[in-house]
Chain A
Amino acid sequence: DIQMTQSPSSLSASVGDRLTITCRASQSISNYLNWYQQKPGKAPKLLIYAASNLRSGVPSRFSGSGSGTDFTLTISSLQAEDFATYYCQQSYSTPFTFGPGTKVDIK
């Protein structure tokens, strides 16, 4: 199975901050990488698919980049509603494993 890691595991930030979360795959996955946002008690929501494609309706402050083994999710200006946990997921080969998550909370 492909192992996914994320850093940091948690961070504290303020509204307006620029945020970058890193995801690394244990082998090359090309651009088969998705990002999800999850708030407590809610199902995950798709933000980015195929590494850099913004899902329709997702604010443009979210962006994704990377290819191969290293990927990033960037939030250009953090908003109050962005405090949540973010997961990356590889869809290169089954099982489509998730990273352990990055929890973003208020500083």
Chain B
Amino acid sequence: QVQLVQSGAEVKKPGASVKVSCKASGYTFTGYYIYWVRQAPGQGLEWMGRINPNSGGTSYAQKFQDRVTMTRDTSISTAYMELSRLRSDDTAVYYCARDKGDVYNWNDYWGQGTLVTVSS
């Protein structure tokens, strides 16, 4: 069965970086985009960007363009999202999700989420 399993919760200080992993199983990793979406406490969903695991090509929301890096390691079917220069308002649950990436795009499977807390 399709699964996306994310790394555990992180606590970081302002100005630091965090790298969250998303390990895929149950499907061909290179056949689906991986998206990253975050949700601040009590808030809605925010689209951060996506990576094509086959090519490594990325698309980032402008808001995160200068601070986010999405990568992948196809040998272990894992995608990564690194966010740098963390601020307190980056405290959120970060989700990965997959998308076939055809004419239409939707996220049919999601990871369990990773809580990143930014606090001094």
* Residues of A in contact with B (beta carbons under 8 Å apart): 1, 32, 34, 36, 38, 43-46, 49-50, 55, 87, 89, 91, 94-101
Contacts and interface: CB of A to CB of B under 8 A. Distances in A.
Nearest to A98: B45
Interface of B: 35, 37, 44-47, 49-50, 59, 61-63, 95, 97, 104-108, 110-113
B55 to A, nearest CB: 16
A96 B47 contact: yes
Contact of A95 (B47, B104, B106, B112): B47
Nearest to B107: A46
A25 B108 CA distance: 22
26 contacts: A32-B104, A34-B106, A38-B45, A43-B95, A44-B45, A44-B95, A44-B97, A44-B110, A45-B110, A46-B108, A49-B104, A50-B106, A87-B45, A89-B47, A91-B104, A94-B47, A94-B50, A94-B61, A95-B47, A95-B61, A95-B62, A96-B105, A98-B37, A98-B45, A99-B44, A101-B45
B47 A98 contact: yes
Given A43-B95, A43-B112, A43-B113, A98 B106 contact: no
A50 B45 CA distance: 19
A90 to B, nearest CB: 10
Contacts of B97: 43-44
Contacts of B59: 94
Most chain A beta-carbon neighbours within 10 Å: one of B46, B63, B108:
B108
B60 to A, nearest CB: 8
B7 to A, nearest CB: 15
